[in-house]
């Protein structure tokens, strides 16, 4: 079987299912496990992701307003690979190539391929997507086992004490956005009380005053698409603002963990749980913003 994954979370799911050797193509954003970098990338972005946050947001809005796709899919390369399964998504056209685009291109380039579309909006959907991908790839039992193991880790991460601190999660810094979709339930699984969007709701833009009005006890900063080093760079100039919003601020590698609806989302929950419970945590995943410069 030949599998193409057009979003990072799907690549991680396929590899976690033990199907790395069946993976023959990926998206430009697929970066874990590290050895998938050797696979051909079938997509590319029409917007430079290295732009500063406000310029990047403006460029995404500009391209989106034209009706043109943010990502390009290499039809010739897809045809040459001739995959049996193509895994894509319909959760966010800004984060990855759209389902409609993938379906149309695959129909022309690899009509025999089965297109598997993931649409996670809640934490439970992420576990169901593991099962969905596994079933499409003919390893349903592995999917059940992996989903069950991830579910047990989520249950183990939840502290035994009652209601925890009020937690707001910032998904973009300039302009500010609050994290929706599966993130509120991830916060709850970590022992916090999420404030902001309801579980399953899209991530809305917000002002810092609106974030302050939520009265968070703790603030998690995990910009979508940014690793921890870039998060620290872009959060640095905003440190006084962030510290004024909540007594405690955590900077996270949102790209690899919290924003990515794959197996490592469980690690994000475990990291937040350790931080909220004031236990030690993996410094490569997140770091606390000091109270003073």
Residue range 142-192, pLDDT digits in tens: 999 999 999 999 999 988 777 799 999 999 999 999 999 999 999 999 999
* Domain region containing 10: 3-119
- Exposed/middle/buried for 124, CB within 10 Å: 0-12, 13-18, 19+? middle
**Could you please report the per-residue DSSP string of 239-266?**
HHHHHHH-SEEEEE-IIIIISS-STTHH
- How far is residue 74's CA from residue 44's CA, in Å, rounded to a whole number? 8
**Could you please report the per-residue DSSP string of 31-64?**
-SSGGGGGSPB-EEESS-TTS-HHHHHHHHHHHH
- For residue 55, the domain's CATH number is 3.40.50.1980
pLDDT at position 64 is 78
Query: Which of the listed residues 88, 104, 119 is the one where a domain comes to its end?
Result: 119
pTM score, whole prediction: 0.93
Q: Which residues of the chain have pLDDT under 70?
A: 291-293
Percentage of residues in the chain having pLDDT higher than 90:
84
Query: Which of the listed residues 119, 149, 171 is the one where a domain comes to its end?
Result: 119
Q: How many domains does the chain have?
A: 2
pLDDT at position 293 is 41
pLDDT at position 158 is 87
């Amino acid at each position: 079987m030949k599998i193409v994954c057009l979003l990072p979370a799907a690549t991680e799911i396929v590899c976690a299912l033990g199907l790395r050797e069946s993976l023959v193509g990926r998206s430009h954003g697929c970066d874990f496990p590290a050895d998938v970098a050797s696979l051909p990338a079938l997509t590319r972005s029409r917007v430079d992701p290295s732009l500063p946050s406000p310029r990047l947001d403006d460029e995404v809005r500009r391209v989106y307003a034209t009706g043109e796709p943010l990502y390009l899919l290499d039809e010739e390369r897809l045809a040459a690979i001739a995959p049996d399964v193509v895994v894509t998504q319909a959760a966010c056209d800004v984060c990855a190539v759209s389902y409609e685009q993938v379906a149309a291109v695959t129909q022309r380039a690899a009509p025999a391929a089965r297109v598997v579309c993931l649409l996670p909006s809640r934490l439970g959907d992420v576990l169901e997507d593991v099962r969905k991908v596994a079933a499409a790839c003919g390893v349903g039992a592995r999917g059940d086992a992996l989903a069950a193991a991830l579910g047990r880790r989520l249950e183990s991460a939840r502290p035994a004490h009652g209601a925890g601190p009020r937690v707001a999660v910032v998904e973009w810094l300039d302009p500010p956005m609050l994290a929706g979709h599966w993130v509120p339930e991830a916060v709850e699984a970590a022992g916090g009380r999420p404030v902001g969007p309801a579980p399953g709701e899209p991530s809305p833009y917000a002002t810092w005053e609106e974030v302050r009005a939520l009265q968070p006890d703790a603030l998690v900063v995990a910009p979508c698409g940014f690793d921890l080093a870039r998060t620290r760079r872009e959060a640095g100039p905003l440190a006084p603002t962030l510290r004024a919003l909540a007594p405690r601020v955590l900077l996270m590698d949102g790209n690899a963990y919290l924003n990515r609806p794959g197996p490592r989302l469980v690690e994000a929950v475990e990291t937040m749980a350790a931080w909220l419970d004031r236990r030690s945590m993996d410094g490569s995943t997140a770091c606390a913003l000091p109270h003073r410069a």
